[in-house]
Amino acid sequence: MNEHDLLIEQAAQIVRDADAIVIAAGAGMGVDSGLPDFRGNSGFWEAYPALAAAGIDFQAAASADSFVSDPVQAWEFYGHRLALYRRTVPHAGFALLRNWAGTKALSYSVFTSNVDGQFQRAGFGTDLVHECHGSIHHLQCTRPCSDAIWAADDFLPVVYEQACRLICDVPRCPHCGAVARPNILMFDDWSWVSKRADAQRACQQKWVEAVSRPVVIEIGAGKAIPTVRHFSQGSFSGAAARSSGLIHSISGLDDPRMWASNCRHRMHLHCLVSPNLSPSGKFCPLVTA
């Protein structure tokens, strides 16, 4: 067995031994479903050539200020994204993760910086997903006039894709009539209503504190905005303190035996291991994240 096969086998054993699975996913998770990850302006402009021609970069398009200065233009970008996410079918990797999670006594929890709702669409329980940056499938008031958050189901955006041009009315707050916006944490955002995400975080934290042998499967998480990686590494603090275990990390698991057959993104595995899992008292060093 070569080194790579050994890495895969050890990772598989870690998943088998865990009593719970935590899935931590960044933008790369959706790429195999055909979703853009907006990696740098070049990636953003490739997905939105009309905005590139207008000289609008990702940070400007995804800014909370855009809903104040030009709400129609803001909804041209977000309306297109909302329609795209609604029609996107999650790739096979989601089902694979859900099957793994279904074998665990303490089930699973999902932490994601993605706002696309793909985990829920793939069958993951709504109460078991923490969307730390919010969800495009929910709206809030731009002002905001209150902390109200409501489903975006009634808003059906019509966007001329080639020009990224909105050809329908923007949604409005049902309480004050102001422009509504996605309930997403954007750049330079002091108006995000975090109530929904806060409740998800509290629920997840309570669950994490109850598990003793969790494994965190981290997928598609970048370094530019390391929210997912910080969560992956920090979610073991309580479990490690309770069991005196060791935090162990494996990366580079891009083998189809561990993932969907066409996946182009590496998997990182973080786990809490007991000192008695190997004769030497600890796992041999592997490739670490």
The answer to the question of residue 286 being in a domain is no
Range of the domain at 191: 3-277
Q: Is 59 helix (H, G, I), strand (E, B) or coil?
A: helix
For 1-58, the pLDDT digits (tens) are: 677 677 677 777 878 888 888 898 988 888 888 888 776 666 777 778 888 888 888 8
Is residue 284 assigned to a domain?
Answer: no
Q: For residue 281, is pLDDT > 80?
A: no
Mean pLDDT, to the nearest integer, of 204-210?
88
The answer to whether position 69 is within a domain reads yes
pLDDT digits (tens, 9 = 90+) for 120-144: 999 999 999 999 999 999 999 999 9
Pair type for strands 214-219 and 20-25: parallel
| DSSP letter assigned to residue 80 | H
Strands 134-141 and 149-151: antiparallel
Q: How far apart are the C-alpha atoms of 249 and 253, rounded to whole Å? A: 11
How far apart CA 218 and CA 5 sit, in angstroms, is: 20
Nearest to 181 by CA among 58, 71, 56: 71
Alpha carbon of residue 131 to chain centroid:
7
In a domain, 288, yes or no: no
- In angstroms, the CA 178 to CA 48 distance is 27
Is the pLDDT confidence value at 243 over 80?
no
> Residue 89: inside a domain, yes or no?
yes
Q: Are 128 and 37 in contact (CB under 8 A)?
A: no
Question: How would you class 99 by CB atoms within 10 Å of its CB: exposed for 0-12, middle for 13-18, buried for 19 or more?
Answer: exposed
Q: How many CB atoms lie within 10 A of CB 84?
A: 18
Indicate the number of domains in the chain.
1
Is the residue at 249 inside a domain?
yes
Domain presence at residue 24:
yes
Is residue 193's pLDDT more than 90? Answer: yes
In a domain, 188, yes or no: yes
Please check whether residue 20 is in contact with residue 109, taking contact to mean a CB–CB distance below 8 angstroms.
yes
